[in-house]
Structure 1
Amino acid sequence: MSEPKPVEELSFEEAMRELEQVVDRLESGDAPLDASIALYERGAKLKAHCEAKLKAAELKVAQIAEAPDGTVSARPSQVD
């Protein structure tokens, strides 16, 4: 079996699918302790990656403004 793709290279959808698989495997209780620890660590990285992708998407959506006349434009992002 090949090494899993680095978390940073996964799309949101890929990371979510893999995270669901990790959770299912951990919940099944079939994995030995060492494998469970590795799965948990991978799951934590996947969760953080998904959260970061969602945050980035939220920021992009927040930059989209709809004018009263119905036209949509993008506002420049503001750096805090």
Structure 2
Amino acid sequence: MSKQNTAQNDTRANADHADIAALPFEKALAELEDIVRQLEQGNVALADSIRIYERGEQLKAHCDALLKQAEARIEKINLGAGNAPAGTSAFDPDG
């Protein structure tokens, strides 16, 4: 594959993933779950598998970032005046 083809594919991939930044967490997670299901079933051509795997990686990163933002907001809410704990613990996603 030439450098020009690689650059074109990278540009196309970036355009394909540009919409991810606008997705709310729930939609991004649902799409990621759909991608995992498709890949687990194994009924996807190799080239398509690679393409949707790459999108899945982008969706995962987006979901991780949104979760970290939510965690930071919850911790901020739990802090009292002067950043002293207000009697609650840091956010624990596992309960």
TM range (shorter): 0.7 to 0.9
The structure with the greater share of residues assigned to helix is 2
* Counterpart in the other structure of 2:65: 52
Secondary structure in 2 matching 1:14: helix
Out of 28, 33, 41, the position equivalent to 1:15 is: 28
2:40 pairs with 1:27 = yes
The structure 1 segments of at least 4 consecutive aligned residues displaced by more than 6 Å after TM superposition are none
Aligned length: 66
Secondary structure in 2 matching 1:30: coil
User: What is the distance in 1 between the residues matched to 2:67 and 2:34?
Assistant: 20
Q: Is there any run of 5+ residues in structure 1 with no aligned partner, and where?
A: 73-80
User: What is the distance in 2 between the residues matched to 1:44 and 1:4?
Assistant: 10
User: What is the distance in 2 between the residues matched to 1:21 and 1:4?
Assistant: 16
Provide the TM-score with structure 1 as the length reference: 0.75
Of stretches 4-13 and 57-66 in structure 1, the one that deviates more from structure 2 is: 4-13
Q: Alignment RMSD, CA only?
A: 2.1
2:51 pairs with 1:38 = yes
Secondary structure in 2 matching 1:31: coil
Q: Is there any run of 5+ residues in structure 2 with no aligned partner, and where?
A: 1-15, 81-85, 87-95
